[in-house]
Amino acid sequence: MKLEETAPAAAIPSPVAPGERGGVPVTVWIAMAFVVVAVACALFGPRIAPYRANEQDLLLGTVPPGGDHLAGTDLLGRDVLSRTIVGARTALVGPTIVAVGAFAIATVLGLLSGYIGGVIDSLVMRWVDFMFALPGPLIAIVIVGVAGGGFWTAVVVLVVLFTAPDTRIVRSAVLEQRPLPYIEAARTLGISRSRIMFIHILPNILPIVAAYVVLDFAFALVSLAGLSFLGLGVSPGTADWGRMLFENRTILFTTPLAALMPAAAIVITAGSINIIGDWIYQRMSR
């Protein structure tokens, strides 16, 4: 689980190759299709799923795929397919809060730090540097674990960890806007600093922020799944992809799908969102 920084890879833009211009690439279409499926599962999961996600059938126990249970059942006789479908909800809700929350805080800090500068800037940047010097993901594991775990603890810790790299991104975007004529014009007109920051600069940096929110989302998904995989994220019993992996990796030999399905769900969803995020990023930076 790469908990730290923004998706580190996201920080390095891939330059656009000539062939990549033009319409929407096939990979992005496929990725969008997967995301639509995941969102549908998150919204209507309990209605789509063939069984109730937490319905146990202890007498049935673990059954292999096929028959009534397309993907088999886990140790408690719960339907793996249903749990994977319903699990889309925690898989998407957590990262949404992390990505949006971290960027909301980072936008305010980045605007203040980049536009006003001075003491605020050095304080904010000192803090960002400090966060960068830490092995973030390990800190997350330890803090979430010691604080007693749980979904919300994990979300809050990740918001704090994600805010530092996000602030750096927003700040550098603000610094690019600062010398532009429209800012000078606004200042000459005597428009207040907060108005310049939030009404004039903010809309201009939003597109690039949006691309990073998408990339952060994918990274948060993987991170939260990682915490759940270690038994520290969502509470026991929740239908969650990371948690399912944690619970079902012991039955990999008998009912492999019970662990492979949530693993595939994590990789496909995070991968699709990363592909879309990369694509948005490239369009924005043209």
Partner 1 sequence: MKGERLWTYVLRRLLVAVPLILLISLGVFALVNLAPGDPARALVGSRQATPETLAAIREKFHLDEPFLAQYLIWLKAVLTGDLGRSIQGNQLVTTMIWQRLPLTVYLGLYGSLVALGLGIPLGVLAAFRRGTEVDRAVVTLGVLGVSAPAFATGIFLLYVFGVMLNWFPTFGQGEGVVGRIWHLTLPAVALGVSVMGLVVKITRASMIEELLKDYVAFARARGLDRRRVTVAYVLRNALIPVVTAAGLIVVGLLTGAVLVEVTFGLPGLGSLLVNAVTQRDIPVIQGIVLILAIFVVILHVLIDVLYTLIDPRIRFGRVEA
Burial of 99 (0-12, 13-18, 19+ CB in 10 A): buried
Nearest Cα residue to 225 out of 171, 136, 151: 151
Q: Which two tokens stand for residue 24?
A: 């929407």
Rounded Cα–Cα distance for residues 70 and 67 (Å): 6
Per-residue burial over 181-206, b = 16 or more CB atoms within 10 Å of its CB, e = otherwise: eebeebeeeeeeeeebbeebbbeebe
- Indicate the residue among 193 and 249 with the shorter CB distance to partner 1: 249
Assess 236 for contact with partner 1 (CB under 8 A).
no
**Closest distance of CB 2 from partner 1, Å:** 5
Region near partner 1 per CB under 8 A, out of 50-58, 94-102, 178-186, 273-281 = 273-281
- The answer to whether the Cα torsion of 142, 244, 234, 131 is positive or negative is positive
Rounded Cα–Cα distance for residues 221 and 136 (Å): 16
Region near partner 1 per CB under 8 A, out of 35-43, 69-77, 87-95, 225-233 = 225-233
Each residue 76-115 as x (binds partner 1 by CB under 8 A) or -, in order, gives ----------------------------------------
**Closest distance of CB 191 from partner 1, Å:** 34
What stretches of the chain show up as alpha helix (H) in DSSP?
26-48, 80-111, 118-133, 136-146, 151-177, 181-188, 193-195, 202-229, 241-248, 257-284
Rounded Cα–Cα distance for residues 46 and 81 (Å): 11
* Residues between 112 and 151 with contacts to partner 1, criterion CB under 8 A: 130, 133-139, 141-143, 145-148
Assess 175 for contact with partner 1 (CB under 8 A).
no
Region near partner 1 per CB under 8 A, out of 18-26, 65-73, 76-84, 172-180 = 18-26
Give the residue, chosen from 164, 170, 266, 280, that forms a contact with partner 1 under the rule CB under 8 A. Answer: 266
Assess 247 for contact with partner 1 (CB under 8 A).
no
Region near partner 1 per CB under 8 A, out of 17-25, 76-84, 97-105, 189-197 = 17-25
Give the residue, chosen from 245, 247, 255, 281, that forms a contact with partner 1 under the rule CB under 8 A. Answer: 245
**Residue 275 · residue 267 · CB < 8 Å:** no
φ and ψ at residue 252, rounded to 5 degrees: -60, -30
Q: Which residues bind partner 1 (CB under 8 A)?
A: 1-5, 7-9, 12-15, 17-20, 25, 27, 130, 133-139, 141-143, 145-148, 218, 222, 225-226, 229-232, 245, 249, 252-253, 256, 259-260, 263-264, 266-267, 270-271, 273-275, 278
